[in-house]
Amino acid sequence: MKLYGKNNLEKTLTGMERTGRVAHSWLMSGADGAGKKVSAKYTAMWLLCEEKQNGLPCGKCRNCSRVLRDIHPDVIYPEKTGKTQSYSADTVRSTIEDCYIAPNDGLRKIYIFPDCNNINQTAQNALLKIIEEPPDHVYFIFTALNKAVFLPTILSRVTSIAIGECSEAECTEALSAEGKFTPEDISEAVSAYHGNIGRCMDYLEKGEYYSLCDTVRCISSAMIQNNEYEILKQLSAVKNRDAMKQVLDMLDDVIRDALVYRVKGAEAELVSCCTENARALSARLTRSAIESIHEFLARARGWCSISANINMNAAACAVSARLCR
């Protein structure tokens, strides 16, 4: 198992291997698709590996192999419950009870809590004591979009690792290693989502992020035609704030491409998911108009914050009106 663009995690693991001081609780935070779950699994492999190489998991021993295949009896994923699919206090209490049972096969037992984005305060308070004083054989790994979802008392007791995207070259290498995508399709995915391997993979498999990219294509095409109704229609169909931010991010890439093409012409290196539309917009809009749209989109992305007091339908109306001036 190869990690891409996770040097900070590897450096932390090798440092702990060298000193023998191993953290019992971890938090991996970063954007959706950046590799938090992969990093959590890699850390579990490291904790259980029987034949480490240069302080990192070998990826081949019996334990590493079972972690990779999600069949290791001592790597446990507690279940989410309820309409919001979150970790309840009851789930946490059940996990704590299980912590005091010895590992099934080996010396360590690892609990991985992926996607703790809406974990409530009651559940966190229930976790606090076990994180502070865990049994010697117990380890916890949490993942979340933002570490701020956790209480300060939890954060002070975990080793926090920021999981960032890799370079576009590393992303291309990772996607190529899958052996099931063409170079052309990979290039298209990386143009849309750059170094985010998870989102690129979803794009190539025609998932949600492919749909979002298609939305950007439709919006930029409507901008060429100055069709405000079509832009509003596309934006109104976006499901939530995070998806809206993704659409605005990618649309801004198109706008930046339009500006670069206007300045450099045929020599311009374009990176957005719809370069033809960028070229067409470059011909239709003045440089000052392109720069103005770019500045507006930067403000509009702020409306997608959970803390922003704005209705998404109102935001869609404001964006569609502004893009057709």
On whether both 185 and 298 belong to a single domain, the answer is no
In a domain, 12, yes or no: no
Here the CATH number for the domain that contains residue 126 is 3.40.50.300
On whether both 34 and 141 belong to a single domain, the answer is yes
On whether both 129 and 109 belong to a single domain, the answer is yes
On whether both 114 and 201 belong to a single domain, the answer is no
On whether both 126 and 185 belong to a single domain, the answer is no
pTM of the model: 0.82
On whether both 280 and 201 belong to a single domain, the answer is no
Domain limits at 171? 167-206
Q: 35, 4 in Cβ contact below 8 A? A: yes
pLDDT of residue 307: 65
In a domain, 131, yes or no: yes
Summarize the confidence of residues 205-211 as an average pLDDT.
91
pLDDT reading at 306 higher than 70: no
pLDDT of residue 317: 93
In a domain, 151, yes or no: yes
Please give the tally of structural domains in the chain.
3
On whether both 64 and 186 belong to a single domain, the answer is no
Write the pLDDT tens digit of every residue in 49-96. Answer: 999 999 999 999 999 999 999 999 999 999 998 887 889 999 999 999
On whether both 235 and 270 belong to a single domain, the answer is yes
In a domain, 15, yes or no: no
On whether both 84 and 137 belong to a single domain, the answer is yes
On whether both 158 and 25 belong to a single domain, the answer is yes
The amino acid at residue 169 is A
Write the pLDDT tens digit of every residue in 142-201. Answer: 999 999 999 999 999 999 999 999 999 999 999 999 999 999 999 989 988 889 999 999
Confidence of residue 261 (pLDDT cuts 50, 70, 90): very high
Q: Which residue, among 187, 197, 201, has the nearest Cα to 270 in the 3D structure? A: 187
Write the pLDDT tens digit of every residue in 7-55. Answer: 999 999 999 999 999 999 999 999 889 999 999 999 999 999 999 999 9
In a domain, 1, yes or no: no
In a domain, 11, yes or no: no
- How many CA atoms within 13 Å lie on the side-chain side of 252? 17
Write the pLDDT tens digit of every residue in 127-140. Answer: 999 999 999 999 99
On whether both 176 and 279 belong to a single domain, the answer is no
In a domain, 261, yes or no: yes
d(CA 279, CA 239): 29
In a domain, 32, yes or no: yes
On whether both 98 and 133 belong to a single domain, the answer is yes
Other Cβ atoms within 10 Å of 101 Cβ, number: 11
pLDDT reading at 104 higher than 70: yes
Write the pLDDT tens digit of every residue in 209-250. Answer: 899 999 999 999 999 999 999 999 999 999 888 889 889 999
Q: 320, 231 in Cβ contact below 8 A? A: yes
